[in-house]
Amino acid sequence: MLIWSILISFAVGIIMVPLIRKFAFRINAVDTPRERHKHTKVTATLGGLAIFISFSVGMLLAPIDKSGFVPIYFGALIIIATGFIDDLFDLSPKWKMAGQILAALCVTVWGDITINFINIPFYGQLDFGYFAIPLSIIWIVAIVNALNLIDGLDGLAGGISIIALMTIAGMALLLKDTFVAPVAFILAAAVAAFLIYNFPPASIFMGDTGALFLGYMIAVLSLMGFKNVTFISLLVPLIILGVPLSDTFFAIVRRLKERMPISSADRSHIHHRLMALGFTEKQTVLLIYCMALLFSMTGFVFSFSTTWGAMLLLLLLILSIEIIVEFIGLIGEDYRPILNLLQKIHRKRN
């Protein structure tokens, strides 16, 4: 039964995390406190390796057809290797990107999992043709990096991943998808086991090994679950992953505005800004969890809305994101166009 695969994945994760932590210290795969870091002690990385192993065991025992999983798993091995090497030797961005693209090629070319077309409201079907593979690769790489960028606080990336995976699994069940739902549930169980050790104060980090792997799997599962459908349905995984994708998008905007390299690091991500407002680390993590849950629930409602209803919901969602961005200063403390407009309207009324 599937439930046993899920439980075994969780149980293996509980056992594996302490073992991987000892292994990480032995090979010096550790994160030393630095200026941009919140933790104050040397902490083991490679937690993603425990997630991968427990997920692999769960998948091995899962009573589902795994014939189409081989290209996905091979790509996952490439992603895990990329993250593992980066956690040990700090890979350059170009080599990390090369690993991500190679993994994405396994899925899109070998596995033939691509976005081939979408149906756009008031227009009709738009076929991507030769662009199907490049667009699908961009999709996977974008989500991988979005999750990697938000992995800045204990428990943050893991919790957001669980919320996204459970939402994707729920949507897959409604669509009667007998592959995506079980895989998402098994992976969520593996991440939940890791989160027990990673929730603040963390005794182990997932590292790039985990962040890249989870981003890759979420990207692939969302691609499988919502491909070749309407434009509205294609937006559902983007809404589900609203927190990491928004954070990444506004980080790019912020760096372009300040004329900084896009790949440069800063302390203005969503979790940094919330902590600057006075929230503790745990409060910040839980608050972002709530944001992720709201995005996920919006994704559910969005998928069952009419075209006009979905458009209105999308407009309200964009407006809400903009107000939050201005309030917490995600682009810059001086960027407040809508809030300033609302203040002017309020002053005129009074």
Please name which of 169, 166, 164 lies closest in space to residue 180, comparing C-alpha atoms. Answer: 169
CA distance 231 to 227: 10
Question: How many whole angstroms separate alpha carbon 9 and alpha carbon 7?
Answer: 5
3-state secondary structure of 186: helix
In 3D, which of 27, 59, 28 has the Cα closest to residue 42? 28
Contacts of 112 (CB under 8 A, 6+ apart): none
Which is it for strands 117-120 and 124-127: parallel, antiparallel or unpaired? antiparallel
Whole-number Å distance between alpha carbons of 25 and 146? 28
- Give CA–CA dist 141/137, Å, rounded: 6
The answer for residues whose C-beta is within 8 angstroms of residue 103's C-beta and 6 or more apart is 75, 76, 78, 79, 82, 140, 216
Read off the tokens for 300.
Answer: 């559910």
Rg, C-alpha atoms of the chain = 20
Q: Is residue 127 very low, low, confident or very high in pLDDT (cuts 50, 70, 90)?
A: confident
Residues paired with residue 43 on neighbouring β-strands, in sequence order: 31
pLDDT tens by residue, 253-303: 887 777 777 767 677 788 878 888 888 889 999 999 999 998 888 888 877
Residues of the chain with pLDDT > 70, as a percent, come to: 92
- 143 against 235, higher pLDDT: 143
Using DSSP's 3-state secondary structure scheme, residue 210 falls into helix
Which residues sit opposite 126 in a β-bridge?
Answer: 118
Of 114-128, 152-166, 321-335, the one with minimum mean pLDDT is 114-128
Q: Taking the model in full, what pTM does it have?
A: 0.90
Q: What's the pLDDT tens digit per position in 271-282? A: 878 888 888 889
- Average of per-residue pLDDT values in the chain: 88
For 26-69, write each residue's pLDDT tens digit: 999 998 876 555 666 889 999 999 999 999 999 999 999 898 89
pLDDT at 231: 58
Backbone dihedral region of 228: left (phi > 0), alpha (psi from -120 to 50 degrees) or beta? left
Q: What is the DSSP letter of 202?
A: P
Q: Annotated binding residue at 148?
A: yes
Give just the sign of the alpha carbon dihedral 81, 82, 86, 90: positive
Would you place residue 246 in the very low, low, confident or very high pLDDT band (cuts 50, 70, 90)? Answer: confident
Q: Which of 119-133, 135-149, 173-187 has the lowest mean pLDDT?
A: 119-133
Neighbouring C-beta atoms of residue 124, cutoff 10 Å: 7
